[in-house]
Amino acid sequence: MALWTSEAAAQATGGRATQAFEINGVSIDTRTIRPGDLFVALKDVRDGHDFVAQALEKGAAAALVSRIPEGVPEGAPLLVVEDVLPALERLGAAARERVKGKVIGVTGSVGKTSTKEMLRAILSRQGKTHAAEASYNNHWGVPLTLARMPQDTEFAVIEIGMNHPGEIAPLARLARPDVAMITTVAPAHMAAFESLAGIAREKADIFKGLTETGVAVFNGDLDVSDLLAQAWDGEMLRFGEDEANSARLLSVELEDGRTRGEAMIDTEHYDFALSTAGRHFAANAVGCLAVVYALGADVAQAAADLTLWAPPEGRGARETVTLPVGAPVELIDDAFNANPTSMSAALEVLAKAEPQGTGRRIAILGDMLELGEKETAIHGGLAALPWFAALDAVHCVGPLMRSLYDVLPEDRRGTWFETAQEARPVLSSLVGPGDVVLVKGSKGSKVSLLVDEIRKLGQAHPA
């Protein structure tokens, strides 16, 4: 069954199809387009209309355009609309309207993508589940994810993000979730918000999209949890360690590379295990079980299936790098994003890791960006975290991380580099056999370059 016929797509978008066609997918990138896809000619840094001919040559079934692009043959399969992005939004809205399954919306300052993948892992065992392959959580990513949603979807997990005030509500209204989850509220994007309360109010805007019988699921351990609760008049479930929460994390134990936990929802107890270490992962796992409970699905099955989940690349994924000589290096790749909350969680994981032989616990920390006017003090304040006491060396990357580097104890202070590029040539001298190495920083700090350098020390494979 086709994802969209030309007739259905034209009706949804208000556009005009130049000929009849059937599409099996929706793409915005000619590098990853597959035969049968609808190519959406979005205009961003580059104009997608410049790539329509290439998309059709690669087998695209049609292209969504606002004009006939140059180089496109007469009679080519096109869906012509007034404006491409609003048309994509209408296509996404039509996809949501025709799906009879349950839709889950996920937002939060930390852990959106990991939680989305956790929900995908456990819900896919209970029904046909749809979710974006990447972090498609912005003004084009959400409608794209919806437009790709098959009509027979039973569960859809839609990630919703923001950088500035006012971005979440319209995306939530487009997705119209049956259950909306907020993982946490933390000091991220502080350059765009005056306070943590401001971030909380923006995150709570996801509830504005809930269906009439929708359920709000959010972290009840937060100082701003009451603010979140005020944003929804319907059913809600709080999760976390506090006794007042509906879904409680009763215990959590971090073993080397694994997490074991016990949750209670209503009066039922559930044991679960995660194939990676992290107290923050355990908290979000309980949040996911609360979502399953709100959906009326099988919570016991979901708890058992949590072990199937693994964090995505750059978000705490663990790899083993086999060296030519000596014990392998264990790499914790957390280089996609960082703020004080996620930094503390990642450092706890490193502190409780077990190096091999004479190996060490080494942190390579990049700048945490978008923290506002207090960014320098926030970086220096990381030194108060208890996890540093268990580390052997801390290397810092970036101008903001200099403030942490300057206050670290001398016996743990490694090297400071102004940029990740500057650190690349000497990285092999900082990492040795048996070491456990955490690489953590905001995407803009480019410490992912150092993840790649560590992989080059030997042969890397998932831990």
DSSP 78-137: EEE-S-HHHHHHHHHHHHHHH--SEEEEEE-SS-HHHHHHHHHHHHTTTS-EEE-SS---
* pLDDT confidence tier of residue 188, bands split at 50, 70 and 90: confident
How many angstroms separate the CA atoms of 337 and 328, rounded? 26
Phi, psi of 332 (to 5 degrees): -110, 105
Is 108 annotated to bind a ligand? Reply is: yes
Please tell me what DSSP assigns to residue 398.
S
- pLDDT > 90? residue 187: no
Is 344 annotated to bind a ligand? Reply is: no
Token code pair at residue 293: 């409970």
Please tell me what DSSP assigns to residue 150.
-
- pLDDT > 80? residue 192: no
How many angstroms separate the CA atoms of 122 and 101, rounded? 16
| Residues found in the chain | 463
Mean pLDDT value across residues 427-454:
97
CA angle 349, 247, 347 (to 5 degrees): 10
- pLDDT > 70? residue 63: yes
3-state secondary structure of 149: coil
* pLDDT confidence tier of residue 133, bands split at 50, 70 and 90: confident
Is 240 annotated to bind a ligand? Reply is: no
Angle between helix 84-98 and 6-13 (nearest 10): 110
Is 428 annotated to bind a ligand? Reply is: no
- pLDDT > 70? residue 189: no
How many angstroms separate the CA atoms of 256 and 250, rounded? 20
pTM of the model: 0.91
Q: Which domains does the chain have, with CATH numbers?
A: 4-83 (3.40.1390.10), 99-308 (3.40.1190.10), 317-462 (3.90.190.20)
Q: Which residue has the tokens 């479930």?
A: 237
Is 110 annotated to bind a ligand? Reply is: yes
Angle between helix 340-351 and 279-295 (nearest 10): 110
Tens digits of per-residue pLDDT, 112-129? 999 999 999 999 999 999
Tens digits of per-residue pLDDT, 10-34? 999 999 999 999 999 999 999 999 9
Cβ neighbours of residue 286 closer than 8 Å, sequence gap 6 or more = 239, 240, 247, 248, 249, 261, 263
Cβ neighbours of residue 33 closer than 8 Å, sequence gap 6 or more = 27, 39, 55, 58, 59, 60
Q: With pLDDT > 70 as the criterion, what percentage of the chain qualifies? A: 99
For residue 439, give the nearest of 410, 459, 417, 407 by alpha carbon. 417
Is 109 annotated to bind a ligand? Reply is: yes
Tens digits of per-residue pLDDT, 228-244? 999 999 999 999 999 99
How many angstroms separate the CA atoms of 13 and 116, rounded? 28
Q: Which residues of 35-49 are buried (b: 16+ CB within 10 A; e: fewer)?
A: ebbbbbbbeeeeebb
How many angstroms separate the CA atoms of 33 and 429, rounded? 41
* pLDDT score for 134: 83
Written as one string, the DSSP assignment of 53-91 is HHHHHTT-SEEEESS--TTPPTT--EEE-S-HHHHHHHH
Beta bridge partners of 43: 47
- pLDDT > 70? residue 136: yes
3-state secondary structure of 30: coil
How many angstroms separate the CA atoms of 69 and 51, rounded? 9
Please tell me what DSSP assigns to residue 312.
P
